[in-house]
Amino acid sequence: MKFEQTQVMHSPTLNTVLMVEKTMQEAKEIIKISELKRRLPKKIMHSTILQILDYLQESGKILITTKGVVWIYRSPEELDRFKQGGLEI
């Protein structure tokens, strides 16, 4: 009899995703993943943080570049403030 071993992919909890989002928003600059991990209040496995960053990039909240990651999401209220202060032609 032969048994197959399957690996179950671990999914991050909502609290972990929100913790990474908050840390990214507060950074206000491009930071490396290693620096992001240092700034987090709790330790996270590297594979988990990569999974969260993939999700945040797909949802349009961050941009992953060769120099690091940066928060790019703007709330609708913030975009309205930008529009009000803009130059009309």
Q: Would you give per-residue pLDDT tens digits along the chain (89 residues)?
A: 666 766 666 789 999 999 999 999 999 899 999 999 999 999 999 999 999 999 999 999 999 999 999 999 988 888 888 788 776 66
Calpha distance 30→33 (Å, rounded): 10
What is the structure's pLDDT at 50? 94
**Does pTM top 0.85 for this prediction?**
no
* CB proximity list for 29: less than 8 A, separation 6 or greater: 70
What is the structure's pLDDT at 71? 94
What is the structure's pLDDT at 81? 83
Q: Give the other-Cβ count within 10 Å of 51's Cβ.
A: 18
**Cβ atoms 49, 37 nearer than 8 A:** yes
Architecture of domain 14-78: Orthogonal Bundle (1.10)
* DSSP states along 12-78: --HHHHHHHHHHHHHH-S-B-HHHHHHHSSS---HHHHHHHHHHHHHTTSEEEETTEEEE----HHH
What is the structure's pLDDT at 89? 60
